[in-house]
Structures are given as structure tokens and as C-alpha cells.
């Protein structure tokens, strides 16, 4: 039994952790926006303040619901502080914002632990530190406000009951639910502006799911009234709806769900026995919420009269149990129960028709989003990969060789098209907008700009661009490092900027866009630009290059900043300058098979473009043969293949062969030599040369012959083998054989290292 | 969150227990195989499956005993020629040659052996420590000598077989 309870708790907690992370992600940009508005206009934007308040409020509510005392107490104080701000219209100071950010970080940190051990114990010390800070600030701020407005009574009345940790959670939530109600109604109009359509869709979707669940639980509870757990489940569902509705400011939905929740609370504790009357009342409440959520999504208003009627019915039911004597509430109760009794059959039929109506409604709402475990998405992609292999196994089956199969070819062609469509769909399912990653950078820029004492603003564009979730996972660190670098080394101090005739506030621009099968993530600053001399000097000091570097192209010089151990910073600050960060950029982007372009102009700024291919798992490849070995070259790196003649080839003294291709001199890599294979041909003019290109570096690969082009699914070589020179992975071919995929960039580099 | 699911959950709990029992019965069991006329044994808990020899795609820049990778139903698995790992002369593969797919530390590796024999119960009491003298190329992979009747099986330490650096590599450095 205990394991069952644990399982359930686990489920709730993990749900809590997930939704809290989302909430925290939402809060942070809002805090940033708040600071911006308070510094720019000298006063805080009440809308933003309300949004933050609400996010903390929701967090507190859900935390106390899953019995996480530490989070509850911290969020409670933060909420109190915000409440004072929004009531008293006090201007926010930097330290206040810092405090809120700290609170935010603290909760985010303990969420990981919560996920594992299912409670938030062990953080009391840190929490009490933050709580004390919050309380001090509250005291300071409310003192200020009190002095200004002279309403201490109001405040003590407000804050004293709130300071106690939310021990009586239900009481607390009840109180909180009622308290902001009036304001919510006031602010509803304004709030609509802050809530994005996506959020609203999510709300409708979630409410729909929750209603569904509550209904299911209630119906089961009606059948098995002894199982109080079922009532508790319904209670939880309604509680979540209430929380959501409160957050979005849908007062009507909140009122009704609150009333229904109160009844369910007494049902789940066993204080009240379910009867048809109660049940149909709650069910009609659920129907009301379901329809309401849909109406809201369609931009319609919820019928206030209906709300009032339902709330009254529900309240009268719960009032019956709350009221000590049946006599007291008799007149009202009788009223409702008589209508209930009289209309019982009609109500039931009503419920039934509502049931039918609900079916049509749910068909109309046609669920737009479902939540899917990411593991399932990964598995789907794996399976699609297997299917692509299987398909080419069928199409290229040796049994079919030499046969004239007109109908078969047609069918295979059709199958091929479908496979590609499925593959595209499977990939599209994993696409996530970059917005949350981008918005995390706002926080970074804010913190760093305080630390460096430079005023810097971040501009974001194209945040809605969608990329594969693997890219999201890999892109965050590089962005942090690049932005850090721009802010530390790229952008000048405000004085220097004024002296240089630039606007005093530096700008970092973050942009994402799709461009021909690639995602471009552009980080641009209007700082001093890269300094060629300085970079070369540093590179020589760190023996990254030989010679004086004067013969290097600009692009080659810029690339040096990505070398491990490279740093031009005169002193190592605690933020950057150790020469590790940009190396991370290079490695992560290479992992994604992407590349980095740098454009820079002295005193005008630097632009770093991360170019990442859209699809990661499946590419078009050219299969080539060397001796008995087969390799794959990604089509994207192949420029041309040709036969050559002896007079086009020059042998340099160090043994390198250079081939002249229309005046361009390209070094030759003999794959058979590199990989020690007995190849069919050893003379360059007998075999085939393939011009490959990576990062604007070209060379020729010498192979025996081309086998053909096909779609391949990239698989990693076993970890056991480690990194293999010039190989990025492998693929299973149509005949079941494994071919290694050549990593052109790595090949060119490894050859350069030998010849340099 | 239905009652049915809860029941299911408690059932999986039982299944776990069953699995543990299975694990218990695997103890002291060894898969034996032949390598250059000697009998070797490897703990059965490591063994995933046994397959015949098949096409191996060679991978460049690997130690000689890593022959390359094979495709096992869509999984890419590196294979090691155990003969060469022990510095025994290489022998052409024939119809008796097998690949024993084992897993150590979640890493799948295929072992190429001359011939697979049988699964044997060798209790701990019948296992002696490896001989201390004559530390040849293969001896560092031995975890004990198992006595079965008059015969002696060389019991291998799978972990060391896969992950121990070979002495030659150190000598080369």
C-alpha cells in the first residue's frame, strides 16, 4: 500500500517539478522586464508585477499542495514582497530584483533534489537565509510605504497572518483565492495583454484534460463511494483548474472551480456522503468549466449569471456541511435541495444531454496538443531510421538485380516518398522554438552587465524559430560563452564608446533564422571588433601557429579564437579569459555537424554565425569504395568528382601530391594510404578524385570508385572504440553491411597536421 | 491513475523480485569456449548471445585485436579477436568460429573465439587463484582457474579483458 502512495506522490511531485520549471522559466524574463521598466520609466509596470505575483502565487499553491514546506515558505515571502510592490507602487531597486532572482535560482536548484527524494528537506538553512532577507526587505519596504501612506493597520492585518508558513494549506489557499479575486476582475482586462495565445491554448487544453479526469474520477466515485481516493483525485484536478484559472485571471472559472473544490474537499475527507444531488451539481460545474475554457479560447465571455447561479448552488451544498446546525441552513438548503429533488430527473437528463453535448464539444475542440514523453519521440526517430534502412534493403535487394520490374519500381518509388514524409514528420515532432533558450540569455546579460559595469542591452529576433531538441540541448552553452565574450572583450566601456562616437549603451543582438536547410543563430555586437594583430600575437605565444602569421587569411585568423587555450584577455577575469569557453562553442557546434562563421569589422562590431543543419540523424550520402572497404561521404561536402591526367599532378618534395583543377591547386588525400587498405588502383589517373570541402578548405580524396548516392541513418561508432581519425560515425547500408562515414573536416585537419 | 494501473504497478514489483531470483541462479555459471586448444570460461551474467562469424567492417587506427564492427540487428558492435588479445597466432575464421556478445559496464562487445563449448557450474570452492608465475600476455585477464573434474578451465575477467590497457601499448609509449 505504501508503495502505491509513494508512486502516486512521485507522480504528483514530478508533475509539480515539471510545471514549476516552466513557471520559473516564465518568471525570469518577467523579472528582467520589470527591472527594465522600472529603470527606464522610473516606475514599475503594474501588469508585469501582477504576472510575477501570480506566477509565484501558483508556485506556492502547488508546492503547498504536494507538501513542500521549504518552497512554500520561500515563495510565500516573495509573494508578500511583490504584493506590497504592486499595492504601494513602490519603485524597485536593483537589490530587490537581485533578491527575486536569487529566490528564483534557489527554487530551481532544489527542484532537482525534490525530483529525486520527493521532498525538499535539507535546504532549510539556505531557505531561511532567503526568507530572512525577504522579510527584511518586506519590513524595509512596508516601513517606507507605511510612512508614506500611513496605513500600518492595514499592513499588519495583511502581513501577520501571511507570515506564518502555510501550515493550514487549505485555509491559506482559500484565503488567497478570495483575496486577489476582486483585483483579478479589475485587472483581467489588462492581463489579457500579457497572456500569449499559446499560453491560452495550453490553458484550454489542460483544463480540458483536467475536466476529463475529474469527471472520470467522480463517476467512479459515485459507483464506489467508499473509495475516498477517487474523490481526492477529482479534488486535485479541480484544484489545478482553479490554480490555472486564477493565474490567467478567469474569475468566473476560478469561482466555480473553487466552489466545486470545497464540496470535493469534504467528500474526500468523508465528512460528506455523496448523493445524486451533489454529484450532478459538481458534474455540471465541470461541464461549465469545460465550456468556459473553450469560450475563453474563442475569445468569448463567460456568462456571469450562469456563474452566479452555479456558484450559489455549489456553495449552498458545501454550506450545508459547514453550517453546524441543519436548521440554520435549512431554508437555503431546502431551496436548493427541493429544486434539486424536483429537478433531479430533469437534472439527470440534463447531465446526460450535457454528456452528449460534451462529446460534440470535445470533437469540436479537437485536442490540439498532447504531451509526449521525449523518449517515445527518440524511439520513433530510431524506428524511422531502421525503416529507411529496411526500405533501401528491399529496393536494392540483390535478388532483384537485372530484372525488369516496372510495377515494382513504381511501388518502391511510392514507398520511398512515404518514407521521406514520415521521416520529415518524425523530425518535425521534435522541433521546439528557441524562445526559452534565448530568454535565458536576458538574465545572463543583465547579471554580466552589472558585473562588468557596462550598460548593455540585448536584442532578440526570430525566437520563434524551431529547431530539433538536440540542438536546443547543445546550443545553450555556446550561446552563454559567445555572449559572455562579446560583453567582456567585444563591447567597450560606456566611456570608451562615447569617446568613439558610438551610442553609450552597447548592444548584443541574438537572432535565429532558417536558411536553406540550416538554422542560423547569429550573435552580433557593436563593439570594437576582433583585433588581427592581437590574435596573431597571442596565437604565436601559445604556439598555436608557426611563423609570424602574416600570410594567414583573415578568416583563418578569426578561427583561432576557437582554439583550445586561446585567450587574448590581458587578465583572466572571473567571467572569461581562460580560453576554455570558445573551444566549447566549436566542439558543441561540431557535434551538431554545424559550423561557425565569423564576420568582424574594426570598431564596428563582430558577428558570429552558428550554422547548424536542420536534420541530424539522416543525411544524403555518397558511398565510395577503396579496395574492399566502403565509406560514406556526406553529399553536402562533395563538390565534384573527376578523373585526372598525370600532367595535372605535381609531387612536392615532402611527398604531398597536388592536383591542378582549373587553376586551383588542391592537395590529394589517398584514402588507401591513410587507412592502410589494399586498393584497386594506386595511380591517381586510374582511380577517381573527389573534391570535398569543409569550412572553405578544399582537398581531393583519392578513391577507387563511386558506388552510389543514398539516404543513410547516422549511427555513432561504439564508445568502446573512442574517436576514430577522420570518421564521424557509421551507417548500416541496404545490404546490412556497415559503412564508416567520413568526417571531411577532421580528415582535412589531420592531413594538415601531418604536412604542417 | 486507475485502480487497475495500481495493481499493475504492484505486479511489476513482483516481477522485479523474480528478476533478482534469476540473477541469483546465474551465479557460478560460466560459458566455456575454446581458444588454441585451451578451455576458457566467462561469467554467464555478461553474455548476451552467441552468433556465428559474420562480415566485419574494419575500423582504422585500432589495436590489432579490435577487428572492427558488426551489425547486430541494427546495433553497431565492436568485435575483439581474443586470440590476438592474448598474443596467440591469428587463425583464419571457419564455420566453428563464434562471436560471443557480452556486456560489461553497459558496453556491448563481441568476442571472436575458436569455438563455443557449453555452460558449466563451477562453484567458488572449485576456483583457485590464477598462477603467480609466468605472467604472459594473457595472464592479466585471468581471474581464476576453475576445476571441473580433471579438466581445468581458465576463467576470464571480462572487465579486464575489455578495458585493461595492453602492455605493448605502454611499452610503445
Q: What is the pLDDT of residues A373-394, one digit of tens each?
A: 878 888 887 788 778 878 888 8
CATH number of domain containing B93: 2.40.50.180
Clarify whether residues A78 and A141 are in a common domain: yes
> Searching chain B, which residue's CA lies closest to the CA of residue A213?
B1
pLDDT bracket for residue A7 (50, 70, 90) = low
Query: Which among A615, A367, A421 is positioned nearest to A514, based on CA atoms?
Result: A615
Q: Note whether residue B104 is domain-resident.
A: yes
C-beta atoms of A389 and B9 within 8 A: no
> Searching chain B, which residue's CA lies closest to the CA of residue A382?
B74
pLDDT at A230 over 50: yes
- Residue ending a domain, among A585, A613, A641, is A613
CATH number of domain containing A410: 1.10.287.560
Provide the domain count of chain B. Answer: 1
Clarify whether residues A343 and A469 are in a common domain: no
Spatial separation of the C-alpha atoms in residues A574 and B65, rounded to whole Å: 47
Clarify whether residues A540 and A405 are in a common domain: no
pLDDT for A356 equals: 45
- Residue ending a domain, among A159, A176, A194, is A194
pLDDT for A144 equals: 58
Clarify whether residues A51 and A177 are in a common domain: yes
Q: Note whether residue B150 is domain-resident.
A: yes
Spatial separation of the C-alpha atoms in residues A26 and A7, rounded to whole Å: 29
Provide the domain count of chain A. Answer: 5
More confident call, A581 vs B140: B140
C-beta atoms of B10 and A386 within 8 A: no
Q: Note whether residue B53 is domain-resident.
A: yes
Q: Note whether residue B8 is domain-resident.
A: no
pLDDT for A41 equals: 62
CATH number of domain containing A111: 1.20.120.160
Q: Note whether residue B40 is domain-resident.
A: yes
Query: Which among A585, A589, A592 is positioned nearest to A616, based on CA atoms?
Result: A592
Chain A residues within an 8 Å CB radius of B66 = 721
Clarify whether residues A606 and A702 are in a common domain: no
Is A597 in a helix, a strand, or coil?
Answer: strand
C-beta atoms of A724 and B69 within 8 A: no
C-beta atoms of B57 and A7 within 8 A: no
Number of Cβ within a 10 Å radius of residue A158: 16
Q: Note whether residue B110 is domain-resident.
A: yes
Q: What is the pLDDT of residues B64-74, one digit of tens each?
A: 899 999 988 77
Q: Which residues of A236-249 are buried (b: 16+ CB within 10 A; e: fewer)?
A: bbbbbbbbbbbbbb
Clarify whether residues A116 and A134 are in a common domain: yes
- Span of A671-675, A708-712, B59-63 with lowest mean pLDDT: A708-712
Clarify whether residues A589 and A639 are in a common domain: no
Clarify whether residues A555 and A688 are in a common domain: no
Clarify whether residues A534 and A394 are in a common domain: no
What whole-number percentage of chain A has pLDDT above 90?
6
Residue A487 is classified by DSSP as: I
Domain that holds residue B104: 28-162
Q: What is the pLDDT of residues A190-228, one digit of tens each?
A: 444 456 666 777 778 788 888 888 887 877 787 778 888
Instruction: List residues in chain A touching B: CB distance below 8 A.
Output: 3-4, 7-8, 11, 213, 220, 233, 386, 389, 629, 674-676, 715-721, 724-727, 730, 732, 736-740
C-beta atoms of A7 and B6 within 8 A: yes
- For residues A670, A673, A677 and A680, what is the CA-based torsion angle, rounded to 10 degrees? 50
pLDDT at B160 over 80: yes
**A131-160 mean pLDDT:** 57
ipTM over 0.85: no
What whole-number percentage of chain A has pLDDT above 70?
80
C-beta atoms of B76 and A726 within 8 A: no
Chain B residues within an 8 Å CB radius of A8 = 1
Spatial separation of the C-alpha atoms in residues A59 and A72, rounded to whole Å: 8
**A591-614 mean pLDDT:** 85
pLDDT for A415 equals: 92
Chain B residues within an 8 Å CB radius of A720 = 78, 107, 109, 162
Spatial separation of the C-alpha atoms in residues A108 and A119, rounded to whole Å: 14
Spatial separation of the C-alpha atoms in residues A419 and A462, rounded to whole Å: 31
Kindly report the nearest CA distance between residue A280 and chain B, in angstroms: 22
pLDDT bracket for residue B119 (50, 70, 90) = very high
**A480-503 mean pLDDT:** 86
**B113-142 mean pLDDT:** 82
Chain B residues within an 8 Å CB radius of A724 = 59-62
CATH number of domain containing A450: 3.30.565.10
Cα A56 → chain centroid: 20
Clarify whether residues A417 and A482 are in a common domain: no
C-beta atoms of A721 and B1 within 8 A: no
C-beta atoms of B71 and A738 within 8 A: yes
pLDDT at A586 over 60: yes
Q: Note whether residue B87 is domain-resident.
A: yes
Spatial separation of the C-alpha atoms in residues A71 and A61, rounded to whole Å: 10
Q: Note whether residue B23 is domain-resident.
A: no
pLDDT for A1 equals: 44
- Residue ending a domain, among A564, A587, A613, is A613
Q: What is the pLDDT of residues A57-96, one digit of tens each?
A: 788 877 777 777 788 888 888 888 877 777 776 667 777 7
- Span of A410-414, A588-592, B54-58 with lowest mean pLDDT: A588-592
**In the predicted model, what is the mean pLDDT of chain A?**
76
C-beta atoms of A724 and B9 within 8 A: no
- In A224-275, which residue ranges form alpha helices assigned H by DSSP? 228-248, 251-268
Angle at B83 between CA B82 and CA B87, to 5 degrees: 115
pLDDT at A158 over 70: no
Chain B residues within an 8 Å CB radius of A676 = 60
Domain that holds residue A655: 618-755
pLDDT for B170 equals: 40
pLDDT for B11 equals: 44
Amino acid at each position: 500500500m505504501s508503495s502505491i502512495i509513494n508512486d502516486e506522490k512521485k507522480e504528483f511531485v514530478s508533475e509539480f517539478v515539471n510545471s514549476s520549471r516552466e513557471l520559473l522559466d516564465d518568471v525570469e524574463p518577467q523579472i528582467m522586464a520589470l527591472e527594465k521598466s522600472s529603470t527606464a520609466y522610473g516606475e514599475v509596470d503594474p501588469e508585469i508585477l501582477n504576472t510575477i505575483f501570480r506566477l509565484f502565487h501558483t508556485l506556492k499553491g502547488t508546492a503547498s499542495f504536494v507538501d513542500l514546506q521549504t518552497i512554500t515558505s520561500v515563495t510565500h515571502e516573495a509573494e508578500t514582497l511583490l504584493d506590497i510592490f504592486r499595492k504601494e507602487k513602490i519603485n524597485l531597486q536593483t537589490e530587490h530584483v537581485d533578491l527575486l532572482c536569487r529566490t528564483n535560482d534557489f527554487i530551481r536548484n532544489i527542484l532537482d533534489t525534490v525530483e529525486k527524494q520527493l521532498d525538499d528537506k535539507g535546504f532549510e538553512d539556505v531557505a531561511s537565509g532567503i526568507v530572512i532577507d525577504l522579510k527584511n526587505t518586506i519590513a524595509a519596504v512596508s516601513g517606507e510605504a507605511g510612512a508614506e501612506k500611513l496605513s500600518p493597520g492595514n499592513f499588519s492585518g495583511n502581513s501577520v497572518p501571511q507570515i506564518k508558513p502555510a501550515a493550514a494549506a487549505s485555509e491559506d489557499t482559500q484565503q488567497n483565492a478570495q483575496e486577489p479575486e476582486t483585483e483579478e476582475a479589475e485587472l483581467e482586462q489588462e492581463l489579457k495583454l500579457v497572456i500569449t495565445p499559446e499560453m491560452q491554448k495550453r490553458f484550454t487544453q489542460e483544463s480540458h484534460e483536467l475536466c476529463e479526469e475529474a469527471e472520470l474520477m467522480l463517476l467512479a466515485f459515485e459507483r464506489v463511494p467508499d473509495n475516498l481516493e477517487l474523490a481526492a483525485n477529482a479534488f486535485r484536478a479541480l484544484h489545478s483548474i482553479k490554480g490555472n484559472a486564477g493565474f490567467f485571471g478567469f474569475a468566473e472559472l476560478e469561482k466555480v472551480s473553487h466552489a466545486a473544490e470545497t464540496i470535493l474537499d469534504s467528500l474526500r475527507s468523508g465528512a460528506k456522503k455523496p448523493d445524486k444531488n451533489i454529484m450532478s451539481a459538481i458534474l455540471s460545474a465541470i461541464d461549465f468549466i469545460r465550456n468556459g475554457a473553450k469560450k475563453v479560447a474563442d475569445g468569448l465571455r463567460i456568462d456571469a449569471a450562469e456563474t452566479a447561479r452555479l456558484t450559489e448552488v455549489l456553495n449552498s451544498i458545501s454550506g450545508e456541511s459547514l453550517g453546524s446546525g441543519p436548521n440554520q441552513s435549512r431554508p437555503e438548503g431546502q431551496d436548493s435541495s427541493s429544486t434539486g429533488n424536483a429537478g433531479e430527473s430533469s437534472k439527470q437528463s440534463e447531465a446526460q444531454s450535457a454528456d452528449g453535448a460534451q462529446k460534440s464539444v470535445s470533437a469540436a475542440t479537437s485536442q490540439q496538443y498532447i504531451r509526449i514523453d521525449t523518449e517515445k519521440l527518440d524511439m520513433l526517430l530510431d524506428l524511422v531510421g531502421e525503416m529507411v534502412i529496411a526500405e533501401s534493403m528491399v529496393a536494392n535487394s540483390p535478388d532483384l538485380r537485372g530484372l525488369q520490374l516496372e510495377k515494382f519500381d513504381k511501388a518502391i518509388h511510392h514507398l520511398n516518398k512515404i518514407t521521406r514524409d514520415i521521416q520529415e514528420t518524425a523530425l518535425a515532432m521534435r522541433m521546439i522554438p528557441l524562445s526559452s533558450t534565448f530568454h535565458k540569455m536576458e538574465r545572463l546579460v543583465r547579471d554580466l552587465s552589472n558585473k562588468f559595469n557596462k550598460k548593455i542591452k540585448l536584442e532578440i529576433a526570430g525566437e520563434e524559430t524551431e529547431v530539433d531538441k538536440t540542438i536546443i540541448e547543445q546550443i545553450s552553452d555556446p550561446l552563454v560563452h559567445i555572449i559572455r565574450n562579446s560583453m567582456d572583450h567585444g563591447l567597450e566601456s560606456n566611456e570608451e564608446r562615447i569617446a568613439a562616437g558610438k551610442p553609450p549603451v552597447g548592444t548584443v543582438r541574438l537572432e535565429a533564422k532558417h536558411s536553406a536547410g540550416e538554422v542560423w543563430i547569429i550573435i552580433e555586437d557593436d563593439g570594437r571588433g576582433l583585433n588581427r594583430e592581437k590574435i596573431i600575437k597571442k596565437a604565436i605565444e601559445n604556439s598555436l601557429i608557426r611563423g609570424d602569421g602574416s600570410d594567414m587569411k583573415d578568416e583563418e585568423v578569426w578561427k583561432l579564437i576557437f582554439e583550445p587555450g586561446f585567450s587574448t584577455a590581458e587578465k583572466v577575469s572571473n567571467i572569461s579569459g581562460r580560453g576554455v569557453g570558445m573551444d566549447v562553442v566549436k566542439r558543441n557546434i561540431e557535434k551538431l555537424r554545424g559550423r561557425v562563421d565569423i564576420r568582424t569589422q574594426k570598431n564596428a562590431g563582430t558577428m558570429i554565425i552558428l550554422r547548424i543543419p536542420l536534420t541530424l540523424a539522416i543525411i544524403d550520402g555518397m558511398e565510395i569504395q577503396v579496395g574492399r572497404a566502403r565509406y560514406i561521404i556526406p553529399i553536402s561536402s562533395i563538390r565534384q568528382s573527376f578523373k585526372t591526367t598525370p600532367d595535372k599532378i605535381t609531387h612536392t618534395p615532402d611527398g604531398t601530391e597536388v592536383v591542378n583543377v582549373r587553376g586551383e591547386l588542391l592537395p590529394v588525400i589517398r584514402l588507401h594510404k591513410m587507412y592502410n587498405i589494399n586498393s584497386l588502383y594506386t595511380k591517381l589517373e586510374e582511380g577517381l578524385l573527389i573534391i570535398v570541402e569543409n569550412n572553405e578548405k578544399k582537398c581531393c580524396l583519392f578513391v577507387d570508385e563511386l558506388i552510389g548516392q543514398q539516404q543513410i541513418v547516422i549511427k555513432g561508432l561504439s564508445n568502446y572504440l573512442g574517436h576514430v581519425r577522420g570518421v564521424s560515425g557509421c551507417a548500416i547500408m541496404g545490404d546490412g553491411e556497415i559503412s564508416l562515414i567520413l568526417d571531411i573536416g577532421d580528415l582535412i585537419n589531420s592531413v594538415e597536421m601531418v604536412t604542417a | 491513475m486507475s485502480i487497475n494501473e495500481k495493481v499493475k504497478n504492484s505486479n511489476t514489483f513482483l516481477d522485479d523480485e523474480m528478476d533478482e531470483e534469476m540473477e541469483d541462479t546465474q551465479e557460478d555459471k560460466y560459458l566455456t569456449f575454446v581458444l588454441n586448444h585451451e578451455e576458457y570460461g566467462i561469467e554467464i551474467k555478461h553474455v548476451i548471445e552467441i552468433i556465428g562469424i559474420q562480415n566485419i567492417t574494419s575500423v582504422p587506427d585500432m589495436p590489432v585485436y579490435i577487428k572492427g564492427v558488426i551489425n547486430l540487428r541494427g546495433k553497431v558492435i565492436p568485435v575483439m579477436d581474443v586470440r590476438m588479445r592474448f598474443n596467440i597466432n591469428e587463425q583464419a575464421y571457419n564455420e566453428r568460429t563464434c562471436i560471443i556478445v557480452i556486456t560489461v559496464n553497459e558496453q556491448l562487445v563481441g568476442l571472436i573465439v575458436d569455438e563455443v563449448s557449453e555452460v558449466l557450474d563451477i562453484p567458488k570452492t572449485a576456483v583457485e587463484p590464477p598462477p603467480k608465475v609466468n605472467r604472459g600476455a594473457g595472464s592479466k585477464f585471468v581471474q581464476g582457474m576453475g576445476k571441473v573434474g580433471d579438466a581445468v578451465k581458465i576463467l576470464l575477467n571480462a572487465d579486464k579483458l575489455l578495458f585493461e590497457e595492453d602492455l605493448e601499448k605502454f611499452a610503445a609509449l
